Amino acid sequence: MIQVQPFASLGRFQNDWLDARHHFSFGHYHDDARMGVGALLVWNDDEIAPGRGFDPHPHRDMEIVTYVRSGAITHKDSLGNEGRTEAGDVQVMHAGTGIVHGEFNVESTATRLFQIWIVPGKRGVTPGWGTRSFPTGTDGLVALADGRPVADGTALKLHADAAVLAAKLAPGQTVTHTNPHKC
What is the rounded CA–CA span in Å between residue 26 and residue 43?
Answer: 9
CATH of span 7-166:
2.60.120.10
Tell me how far apart the terminal alpha carbons of the chain are, to the nearest angstrom: 7
Residue 80's region, left for phi above 0, alpha for psi from -120 to 50, else beta, is: left
Task: Supply the pTM of this predicted model.
Answer: 0.92
Please state, in angstroms and as integers, the Cα–Cα distance from residue 143 to each residue in 21, 79, 111, following that order: 24, 26, 23
Question: pLDDT per residue over 84-129, tens digit each?
Answer: 999 999 999 999 999 999 999 999 999 999 999 999 999 999 999 9
Q: Which residue ranges make up each domain of the chain? A: 7-166
Nearest to 70 by CA among 96, 56, 49, 101: 49
